[in-house]
Structure 1
Amino acid sequence: MLSRRHFCCSGAIAGSLLTFDRAFAADQCTAMTPDRRAAISPDDALAKLKAGNERFVSRNMRNCDLIEQVRATAGGQFPSSVVIGCIDARVPPELVFDQRIGDIFSARVAGNVINDDIVGSSEFATKLAGAKLIVVLGHSECGAIKGAIDNAELGMLTQLLAKIEPAVEEASKNASGDRSSKNKAFVQEVATANAKLGREKLTTMSDVLRDLVAAKQLKIVSAMHDVATGRVTFIE
């Protein structure tokens, strides 16, 4: 039989754990401040996203008060990372990295292509706004990649898909089998090559980003998101 003392002690322990859980949740959901962001290195920013994706795939995402975060960030934003991703509805960066309002700068365009506007936005987010990390995020089963492989043409989309052609050529060097969108392995190879080339293109096109990387104030990586599992694999 459990004693009254046991129940009292159990209640005290449970109360302590609840207080700890609330404090931990509050810290995890606290909006980024200039001081907190200043203490984060590029590697820390990368670890933060990796941990967030692990929470996402393990179904252990943070439960934050988003309206409170809206209020907390109304006077300023201090994201530590930039994610350049595709417009695909299955790859929302804030969700797959378990980030919240004010946590990341998110730039999205079909095929996560790198163009002048994306580069300029990245320069703003890093040099002016202080982000420490850029992730060029590709994903599996990408429609834009498939369109580029098959030389699809449709209005202004034709020009966008042309920017993926270098990745098609790169993947074709060692590809085997059918080089069409029906070959899933080839589509994946092109998507991966596109993310890698996108990372390289950022510093090729921008002296600002290149100088930040050289000064170790910025890290640029590429990554691939699996739409079937939610898992993000980083290609550093």
Structure 2
Amino acid sequence: MRDHFPKLLCILLLVAAVACNTATNKQSATKTDTLHTAGDTTIDLDDVLENQVLTWEQQQALTPEQVIDLLKEGNEDFVNDRLTVRNYTKRVRQAANGQYPKAVILSCLDSRVPVEDVFHRGIGDIFVGRVAGNIVNEDMLGSMEFGCKASGAKLILVLGHEHCGAIKSAIDEVKLGNITALLEKIRPAVKTVQFDGERSTKNKDFVHAVCEQNVKLTIDKIRKNSPILADMEKNKEIMIVGAMYDMSSGMVTFLK
């Protein structure tokens, strides 16, 4: 028995080594199937959205109506907390040499309206212009013309939101530095909105009505002051639409 003990010990050590190696391989395989993030959070690679950035051919094949549907679907994902982790590093590399976004979205400056997240979009998907009160000026019009005429976007969306500070300031006739000139561009919405009731910032319904009216007037200004975009819409190359973002639910409602 003693003579066989060294051989038995070698066999046991060999079996232990194989078992250890197998466990290590399994652990490595598990690691390759998992994307580790900060802290203790781990994300399965199966949950990472691997869609590619849009190509020129794919962009050209889209209709404005299809883009609206895609934005509505993305917003539904956002509202229902179905956001997917995107392969950002890969998309950065893919988009480095060109971009073919679906839409131009004019949003308020408000930090509570994360436009890409609201529509479940990623790098290379949409152009986003932001300014307090989602107003339009010469610079914004030029940016929209670049996005649609030069870069092929199919939709212009003016996105207003509830409880807008710029709208409230315009209603209260705030005057402060360059903010004064900005608010003057919103004042027409305050003056022209049809509303029965108290016309002050104390009335949430009035504030909401002015927010919607401001979106509509911004759309009118886009059509009036940009013949390029007006012609594109007339020729059904693009659509120019408005929507409101609900702060409480995250839902976007498209205006008729």
C-alpha deviation, 1:181, in angstroms: 1.3
Question: Alignment identity in percent?
Answer: 44
Q: 2:197 aligns with which of 176, 180, 186?
A: 176
Deviation by residue 1:93-119 (Cα, 9 ceiling, x = unmatched): 101011000000000000000111111
RMSD: 1.5
Alignment of 1:201 onto 2:221: yes
Counterpart of 2:142, as a letter, is G
Contact 2:74 2:118 in 1 (8 A): yes
Gaps of 5+ in 2: 1-44
Counterpart of 1:72, as a letter, is Q
Deviation by residue 1:167-188 (Cα, 9 ceiling, x = unmatched): 10122x32312x2212111110
Determine the C-alpha separation between the residues in 2 that align with 1:90 and 1:128.
30
Alignment of 1:35 onto 2:62: no
TM-score, with structure 1 as normaliser: 0.87
Partner of 1:7: none
Alignment of 1:231 onto 2:251: yes
Alignment of 1:62 onto 2:61: no
Determine the C-alpha separation between the residues in 2 that align with 1:194 and 1:67.
38
Partner of 1:146: 168
Determine the C-alpha separation between the residues in 1 that align with 2:209 and 2:247.
15
Determine the C-alpha separation between the residues in 1 that align with 2:48 and 2:165.
40
Contact 2:195 2:209 in 1 (8 A): no
Partner of 2:133: 111
Partner of 1:192: 212
Please state whether the residue corresponding to 2:86 is helix, strand or coil.
coil
Determine the C-alpha separation between the residues in 2 that align with 1:44 and 1:231.
19
Determine the C-alpha separation between the residues in 2 that align with 1:35 and 1:137.
27
> Which ranges of 4 or more aligned residues in structure 1 deviate by more than 3 Å?
21-25
Partner of 2:242: 222
Larger C-alpha radius of gyration, 1 or 2? 2
Q: How does 1:69-84 map to 2 (within 5 A)?
A: 69-84=91-106
Please state whether the residue corresponding to 2:168 is helix, strand or coil.
helix
> Between Structure 1 and Structure 2, how many residues are aligned?
212
Partner of 2:233: 213
Determine the C-alpha separation between the residues in 1 that align with 2:132 and 2:196.
24
Partner of 2:15: none
TM-score, with structure 2 as normaliser: 0.80
Determine the C-alpha separation between the residues in 1 that align with 2:237 and 2:164.
31
Gaps of 5+ in 1: 1-20
